[in-house]
Amino acid sequence: MPDKNLFNLLGLSLGAPQRKVREAYRQLAKKYHPDLNPDNPHTAERFKEIAHAYWVLSDPARRKSYEDLNPHLRAETHRHQSTRTYRKDTPKETSRQGPREGKDILVRLYVTLEELAEGVMRKVKIRRRQPCAECESTGIAGGAAGGICPVCKGSGDVPDFTHRSGSRRDSIPCRKCGGSGLQAMKACQNCEGRGQILADITITVGVPPGSDDKEKIVVKSQGHQGFMGGKSGDLKVVIVQKEHPYFERKNGDLIYHCNVTFTQWLQGCELQAPSLNGPIALKLEPRKIPEGVLKVPGRGMPDKDGGKGDLVVKYSLAIPNELNRKQISLLKRLESTKGFSPAIDDKGWCKRATE
């Protein structure tokens, strides 16, 4: 594919004078004008590019800023004109003058654990650079055809209806444009001539079941629009898992911490644990180790292969942080009861444990 700089879009060499720019545009406009090719969408695209190139290069101020933005084009021009030792651009330089890709857009999406488990469709608001519909992305008021004389459609002449030479239809120069085929172009007001606008839009993003925290969902080509036909960037949505009031997520497992009281531990009990789909009752046997784990297989998070993690209930014997005087005196009374405190001998020492 040839480099798509504005000069070669018009079939011109770099640094072509204004007169040549005009001539080239007029020729191409005649060939590609959409009114003359109603059934060919490709010509309409081509016409837009040509019109845009002409719009930039036909105006000295716009041409200068274009050449300032692409200094290699201007440098090439000078080298070409002054020394005649024309050399092709290095690949690195050429890549800068061709189409440029649009930038990616990165957004964070806050999602609950329940939503991650089920999968969810969410709307994401973004502000992105996209085509200006009013000027068909050309930046020219009236769209691509805005620079073409509406009377002669760019041909520069119109049929001479006053001429009566039988079958032959003669032409006379178009009066509207003085035979140039062109008319003055104005910048599109909607995009101030940029051909692109910043628009606030909403995109629906699907979060698949089992998605992870910090996982990136890439929505292809929904980022900023590219320049000069370059492809659009992507929309990258980073999942941020909201903190859950009860669960900690570890791979596919959901971990729930709970405390049991001394009597619950001593006598055994039914432990209630929350899960993503309703509470679950678990049996804690009497006098189990004071800190332990009970597992409920398959009640954790789903993974993307259809598997499921476990619900992991970590219980521990509750030890109160601070006790008031009354509670301490009650505990002391309890300790003084028979069989509650460890056995000691007459000298106050603990006896050796016997199996």
Strand partners, 283: 270
* Closest separation in Å from C-beta 17 to Zn ion: 23
- Of 122 and 176, which CB lies nearer to Zn ion in the complex structure? 176
- Of 188 and 254, which CB lies nearer to Zn ion in the complex structure? 188
Residue (of 274, 313, 314) closest to 297 by Cα position: 313
* Closest separation in Å from C-beta 161 to Zn ion: 15
C-alpha 147/C-alpha 141 separation (Å) is: 9
* Closest separation in Å from C-beta 181 to Zn ion: 6
* Closest separation in Å from C-beta 18 to Zn ion: 19
* Closest separation in Å from C-beta 51 to Zn ion: 12
* Closest separation in Å from C-beta 135 to Zn ion: 3
* Distance, first Cα to last Cα, the chain: 89
Return the structure tokens found at 155: 């041909």
- Of 133 and 266, which CB lies nearer to Zn ion in the complex structure? 133
- Of 47 and 247, which CB lies nearer to Zn ion in the complex structure? 47
Strand partners, 172: 158
Number of neighbours of residue 158 by Cβ within 10 angstroms: 18
Residue (of 30, 238, 40) closest to 152 by Cα position: 30
C-alpha 227/C-alpha 229 separation (Å) is: 5
- Of 199 and 296, which CB lies nearer to Zn ion in the complex structure? 199
Q: Does the protein bind Zn ion through residue 29 (CB under 5 A)?
A: no
Contacting Zn ion within 115-154 (CB under 5 A): 132, 134-135, 149, 151-152
C-alpha 130/C-alpha 198 separation (Å) is: 6
Burial of 272 (0-12, 13-18, 19+ CB in 10 A): exposed
- Of 160 and 291, which CB lies nearer to Zn ion in the complex structure? 160
DSSP 3-state of 24: helix
DSSP H or E stretch at residue 238: strand 235-241
CA distances to 36, 45, 154, 209 from 33, rounded to whole Å, are 5, 10, 8, 51
- Of 175 and 287, which CB lies nearer to Zn ion in the complex structure? 175
DSSP 3-state of 329: helix
* Closest separation in Å from C-beta 5 to Zn ion: 22
* Closest separation in Å from C-beta 250 to Zn ion: 52
- Of 149 and 237, which CB lies nearer to Zn ion in the complex structure? 149
How many residues make contact with Zn ion (CB under 5 A)? 12
Amino acid identity at 39: D
Helices within 159-205 (DSSP H only): none
Beta strand 216-219 pairing with 196-207: unpaired
C-alpha 168/C-alpha 253 separation (Å) is: 87
* Closest separation in Å from C-beta 41 to Zn ion: 20
Contacting Zn ion within 147-206 (CB under 5 A): 149, 151-152, 174, 176-177, 188, 190-191
- Of 70 and 190, which CB lies nearer to Zn ion in the complex structure? 190
* Closest separation in Å from C-beta 129 to Zn ion: 12
CA distances to 21, 93, 181, 304 from 59, rounded to whole Å, are 10, 25, 17, 57
- Of 127 and 216, which CB lies nearer to Zn ion in the complex structure? 127
Largest CA distance in the chain: 143
Which residues contact Zn ion by CB under 5 A?
Answer: 132, 134-135, 149, 151-152, 174, 176-177, 188, 190-191
